[in-house]
Amino acid sequence: MAFSQDEVLAGLAEIVNDETGIATASVQLDKSFTDDLDIDSISMMTIVVNAEDKFGVKIPDEEVKNLITVGDAVSFIVSAQG
């Protein structure tokens, strides 16, 4: 089953909240993981693994560095499905 952009955003917000305690409402498409949400690389890797599990996609390690904003991650996950 493919997830919509809104579903991916909501799911990613839950994962970020579980890992960091950041409010789900703060996890928006234009937010930078490091600059706006202050997520470190270790937390980011946990978020990536949990997102892979939740959405059934593979996010290669070399792609993670390109996921600067929440929107980047949502776009990658949506396009990686199917």
Count the Cβ atoms, other than its own, within 10 Å of residue 55.
21
pLDDT tens readout for residues 44-57: 999 999 999 999 99
pLDDT at 1 (0 to 100) = 74
Tell me: pLDDT of 82 over 80.
Answer: no
Q: Is the pTM of this model over 0.85?
A: yes
- List Cβ neighbours of 70 (8 Å cut-off, separation of 6 or more): 9, 12, 27, 28, 29, 30, 31, 33, 37
pLDDT above 90: percentage of residues in the chain: 98
Domains and CATH numbers, the chain: 5-80 (1.10.1200.10)
DSSP for 10-43 reads: HHHHHHHHHHH---GGG--TT-BTTTTT---HHH
N-terminal to C-terminal alpha carbon distance within the chain: 8
